[in-house]
Amino acid sequence: MATMSDVAREAGVALSTVSYMLSGDKPVAAATRERIELAMRELGYRPNAIARSLASRRTRILALHLPEFDVSAGETVFEIVRGAYDRAAERGYLLTVWPIASQRAPQELSDLVGQGHADGVLLVEVALDDPRIESLQDADVPFFSVGRSRESEQLHYIDIDFEATIAHALDALADSGHRDLMLIGRSREMEASGYGPAVRSHEDFSRLAQERGLAHREYALDPSPQAGRELAREVFTAGPRPDAVVAMNDLAVVGFVNELQAMGLDVPEDLSIVTVVSSKRTASMTTPSLASWRAPGEEMGRRAVDGLLDQLAAPHAPPTQVLVACAPFDGGSVQDRRPTG
């Protein structure tokens, strides 16, 4: 069985460097960390989080908390959790999802770390005015946020660059001749609750479409196929029809596409559709598959764990703040509408 010393020799680093990386006691350069991780994989070395916790003052447990926003079938959220879990294991930590009700979460998350049950907290699905953040800051509890609050200057976070992602989607549609766009966004309840992605996507879509001189309208839907089906019937049985849709509601857009086809309409001949902050899985649920800007959920989860462990190692360092771009995925749901000849 491979030992930590074997890993150090294979990676060409000091034994203490391997220990620092696994414990998070001191920051380790990214290139060095990659060499150590490669050596661990090649040697089949997997650190024992429980045994290592007994030899330190830490629990080697990270708590991840999801609030009670309706994120039904939100593939990106599950990818974030998977990425965080895998990264924590690689670095010798256990990651536990704590099912605390939203109204109790601010105090209980602080108590969780204060009473020695976890070393730090990962927050997912962040509101603009998130009571969890204020509580953890007041209690001086180490935490890292996947998402941003309204006042984020001192916040350690990683988040989607919603403005850039929506801008890329609008530019792609405008460049292919589309001039009348529609947003299928998150529900008004989610927006009213202050859920960051819901608020930012509506604000950014409206402003960016206006800046580009594009006609635009917005619909806020519950995250369900039925809501998407009802919207398709509403839009395509009365009034002027858009020539393209930008969707940030995975379940609703699947129902929307299915109902269009049931009505005898064709995607993309009658309507082009793109999804943003979505997943390849969602894009493949329809025929044709949907062009999309995919959220790097697993990458975000992994980097959030790294950011939290870096914070544990250097608690007074400047806050880590990262915005990540969504990667384009080419589907068959966009038609070039530029005039020919």
Phi and psi at residue 145, to the nearest 5°:
-110, 130
Task: Return the ∠ at Cα 46 (arms to 92 and 118), rounded to 5°.
Answer: 20
Tell me: do 55 and 19 sit in the same domain: no
Query: Residue 141: which domain range?
Result: 48-160+298-327
Alpha-carbon span 339 to 341, nearest angstrom: 7
pLDDT of residue 21: 78
The CATH number of whichever domain residue 7 belongs to comes to 1.10.260.40
Alpha-carbon span 190 to 119, nearest angstrom: 30
Alpha-carbon span 240 to 227, nearest angstrom: 20
Tell me: do 57 and 35 sit in the same domain: no
pLDDT of residue 73: 43
Last residue of a domain, one of 295, 315, 336: 295
> Could you tell me if residue 338 is inside a domain?
no
Tell me: do 103 and 201 sit in the same domain: no
pLDDT of residue 47: 66
Tell me: do 169 and 287 sit in the same domain: yes
> Could you tell me if residue 247 is inside a domain?
yes
The CATH number of whichever domain residue 132 belongs to comes to 3.40.50.2300
> Could you tell me if residue 302 is inside a domain?
yes
DSSP state of 221: -
Task: State pTM to two decimals.
Answer: 0.79
DSSP state of 84: H
> Could you tell me if residue 243 is inside a domain?
yes
Tell me: do 6 and 85 sit in the same domain: no
Mean pLDDT by 10 residues, the chain (341 residues): 82 84 74 87 71 57 78 74 94 86 80 84 92 90 94 94 96 97 93 88 95 96 95 89 95 96 96 92 90 94 96 92 92 91 61
Report yes or no: 273 and 247 within 8 Å, Cβ to Cβ. Answer: yes
Tell me: do 227 and 177 sit in the same domain: yes
Alpha helices in the chain (DSSP H): 4-11, 15-23, 30-43, 49-54, 75-90, 105-114, 131-138, 162-175, 188-192, 196-211, 225-235, 250-262, 280-283, 297-313
Alpha-carbon span 338 to 244, nearest angstrom: 13
Q: Which two tokens stand for residue 215?
A: 């006609």
Report yes or no: 28 and 14 within 8 Å, Cβ to Cβ. Answer: no
Alpha-carbon span 312 to 25, nearest angstrom: 7
Cis amide leading into 268 (omega within 30): yes
What's the number of domains the chain is made of? 3
Q: Which two tokens stand for residue 205?
A: 């879509």
pLDDT of residue 54: 39
pLDDT of residue 115: 79
From the list 14, 25, 88, 100, the residue with the least C-alpha distance to 55 is 25
Phi and psi at residue 158, to the nearest 5°:
-130, 140
Number of helical H runs and strand E runs in the chain: 14, 12
Tell me: do 195 and 308 sit in the same domain: no
